[in-house]
A and B are shown apart, each in its own frame.
Chain A
Amino acid sequence: MHVTLSVWQALLIAIWVALVESRILGFATLTMRFSPLMTGMMVGFIMGDIKQAMIVTAAIQLVYMGFVAPGGALPAEPAIGAAIAVPVALLGHMSPQGAIAIAVPVALLGSYLYQFRFFLNTFALKPMDKYAREGNARGLRFSIIGIPALISFVLFIPLIFIALYFGAPVISGLVSNIEHGTIIHVLNSVGGGLAALGIAIIMQVIGKKRLLPFFFLAYFMSVAFAKLEINMTIYAIFGVIFAILYVMLSQKNASENS
């Protein structure tokens, strides 16, 4: 089957990416961002080859299995990776592994685009504060949802469209050149290190220094038991037990002292 990418197809994919990355479809877009699956499906649907698109996307998904964004900082945007890599793979009849090599760097770059959105959203704060002061519910609603959504659309649609329509053939050539270079190393290191930010934010927001030993306990548990591949639910159960024990013992002490 010969697959092509017309202006309209590139535009539709770009609009889909903007819908996902603007988060305008509600909280559940979380899994559309963290997982490339829905984007891969839409690309297959738009380009008329769902079967191959799903096979390629499944391979990309394996790279991002278990990916989380503690405190909101996601080190890569798998959805953006898939939006570029799946069309390129379909156009060039590439193997799923070849598609991964494109998706990973593009997703890393995509995460900076997503962070850039947070800066641009700051423009919506001024009207928000103004409408809140006036008690204007309609204006407040618009400035909370409307303005940021508009910003995301203006940011993502042209960029993704250009990358797809003009860039897709170039990208596949380019990526094979930088695959093992310093650029990818830097992007990987920054992505891997930024998770520290979200975690530190939550630690600061919890704001109880005397409870910090529980953070260190958990950290070294997860480092020490890494090879056991303990499920997150089991860890959560440990956490609940520690919390209950602490509260029980500290309240018992308090009542004995009084």
Chain B
Amino acid sequence: MSDNPTVEATNDEPQATTEHRIPQPDALTNKDLMKSWFGWWWANEVPHTFDRMLAPSFCFGLIPSLQKLYKDKDELAKSFQRHLLFFNTQATWGGGTLTGVTLSLEEARAKALANGEEPISEDMINNTKVGLMGPLAGIGDSIDSGTVQYIFIAMFLPFAKQGNFLGALLPFLCFAIATFTYGYYFTKMGYSLGRSAAKEIMTGGRMQGIIDGLGILGLYMMGILAGQYITIRSFLKFSISGKVFNVNTILNQILPGALPLLAVILVYWYFQRQGLKITRALLYLTGALIVLSIFYII
């Protein structure tokens, strides 16, 4: 994740734990996990910005648990600050799992600090979080909003067509209950996974395989979504000696789906060169799309 400037900026200074005694953390219970999962679930998209994306909501969920872990004011403030850096993922598959994983790492760090041992570094916590957020978002976006949601809507749509309000209420309730339940399950799973993996994460090894595997799945699902949801086609027509040529038809004969792919590659290429400047990319892309479509080029 070296190409993310906001995350790189958090260099950990060496811990001088001998100066003042850091109190022992309280152990995290299932109730704390529920509180943190609920906090993330509730705040989820409320403070969304282009600079930090969903980092504040992730921090919001962690607050009660961090307060139990870091009785030392400085360490608490540092933990708040590191979880306000850029973060974006999907709510249940990404956010649930990562809430659990992050809490287990924070707990290990808090314990080590209190015992005067070498703690898991702030960088390690951030890199784990940031390394997993993209792949899990790719999976979660396709499953939760792309599939689960529409299964429930399709199931109850006949009610709505007949004018029955249950056609609206039931899909909402089913979606809310299902996602809340398995999101909490992912939180608990992430927590126990993180506890057993905390040592491995520090030494590398198997974790690399997991991150690679999830990365593949995330990129793969994004490829599917790109193919299905980006709708850019050319409306350009020209005629040579009375014969009309339709650019879109020609493009489709050469390479079907070339234009949507080109759009993704251009934005990705921009991020590669300029870093993850989302607001600017949004403005440029919107501007380009407006200009091209005014002249009916797309």
Q: Are B256 and A223 in contact (CB under 8 A)?
A: yes
A166 on the B face (CB < 8 A): no
Q: Are B215 and A220 in contact (CB under 8 A)?
A: no
Q: What are the interface flags for A225-245 relative to B under an 8 Å C-beta threshold, 1 for contact and 0 otherwise?
A: 010000111011011101110
Contact of B45 among A27, A31, A236 (CB under 8 A): A27
Tally A-B pairs: CB < 8 A.
Answer: 379
Q: Are B221 and A218 in contact (CB under 8 A)?
A: yes
Q: Are B276 and A204 in contact (CB under 8 A)?
A: yes
Q: Are B224 and A244 in contact (CB under 8 A)?
A: no
In the complex, the chain A residue whose C-beta lies closest to that of B297 is A189
Interface residues of B, count at CB 8 A: 119
Question: Shortest beta-carbon distance, A199 to chain B, in Å?
Answer: 5
B27 on the A face (CB < 8 A): no
Interface residues of B in 215-261 (CB under 8 A from A): 215-232, 256-257, 260-261
Contact of A24 among B46, B225, B296 (CB under 8 A): B46
Question: Shortest beta-carbon distance, A225 to chain B, in Å?
Answer: 9
Bound-state CA distance A145–B92 (Å) is: 19
Bound-state CA distance A55–B274 (Å) is: 48
In the complex, the chain B residue whose C-beta lies closest to that of A26 is B42
A171 on the B face (CB < 8 A): no
Bound-state CA distance A37–B161 (Å) is: 11
Give chain A's interface secondary structure class.
Answer: helix
User: Which of A37, A220, A222 gathers the greatest number of chain B CB atoms within 10 Å?
Assistant: A37
Contact of A58 among B42, B145, B161, B219 (CB under 8 A): B161
Report A-chain residues with C-beta under 8 Å of the C-beta of B209.
247, 250-251
Instruction: Evaluate whether A125 and B49 lie within 8 angstroms (CB atoms) in the complex, with A34-B145, A144-B57 already known.
Output: yes
Bound-state CA distance A22–B43 (Å) is: 10
Q: Are A133 and B81 in contact (CB under 8 A)?
A: yes
Q: Are A196 and B260 in contact (CB under 8 A)?
A: yes
Instruction: Evaluate whether A135 and B169 lie within 8 angstroms (CB atoms) in the complex, with A128-B56, A208-B212 already known.
Output: no
B153 on the A face (CB < 8 A): yes
Report B-chain residues with C-beta under 8 Å of the C-beta of A30.
45, 91, 144-145, 149, 175
For this complex, into which size category does the number of interface residues on chain A fall? 35 or more
Q: Are B63 and A206 in contact (CB under 8 A)?
A: no
Q: Are A189 and B293 in contact (CB under 8 A)?
A: yes
A174 on the B face (CB < 8 A): no
Q: What are the interface flags for A142-186 relative to B under an 8 Å C-beta threshold, 1 for contact and 0 otherwise?
A: 011101110010000000000000000000000000000010011
Question: Shortest beta-carbon distance, A42 to chain B, in Å?
Answer: 9
Report A-chain residues with C-beta under 8 Å of the C-beta of B212.
208, 211, 243, 246-247, 250
Contact of B214 among A121, A199, A223, A243 (CB under 8 A): A243
Q: Are A218 and B50 in contact (CB under 8 A)?
A: no
Which stretch in A1-9, A10-18, A69-77, A98-106 binds the other chain?
A: A69-77
In the complex, the chain B residue whose C-beta lies closest to that of A75 is B229
Instruction: Evaluate whether A206 and B219 lie within 8 angstroms (CB atoms) in the complex, with A190-B293, A220-B257 already known.
Output: yes
Q: Are A236 and B3 in contact (CB under 8 A)?
A: no
Q: What are the interface flags for A37-60 relative to B under an 8 Å C-beta threshold, 1 for contact and 0 otherwise?
A: 110110011000011101101100
Report A-chain residues with C-beta under 8 Å of the C-beta of B264.
196, 199-200, 203
Q: Are B141 and A55 in contact (CB under 8 A)?
A: no
Bound-state CA distance A117–B227 (Å) is: 28
Q: Are B232 and A202 in contact (CB under 8 A)?
A: no
Q: Are B51 and A54 in contact (CB under 8 A)?
A: no
Q: Apart from A193-B263, A214-B220, A236-B217, what 15 extra A-B contacts exist at CB < 8 Å?
A: A54-B161, A66-B150, A118-B48, A133-B77, A133-B81, A145-B60, A147-B47, A196-B260, A197-B281, A199-B226, A203-B222, A203-B271, A211-B216, A223-B257, A232-B142
Can you pick out 25 interface pairs between chain A and chain B where the beta carbons lie within 8 Å of each other? Answer: A31-B145, A50-B163, A68-B229, A70-B226, A71-B137, A71-B141, A129-B81, A131-B80, A186-B294, A189-B232, A196-B264, A197-B285, A200-B271, A201-B276, A202-B222, A203-B264, A208-B219, A214-B223, A219-B224, A223-B256, A231-B147, A235-B224, A236-B221, A246-B216, A247-B210
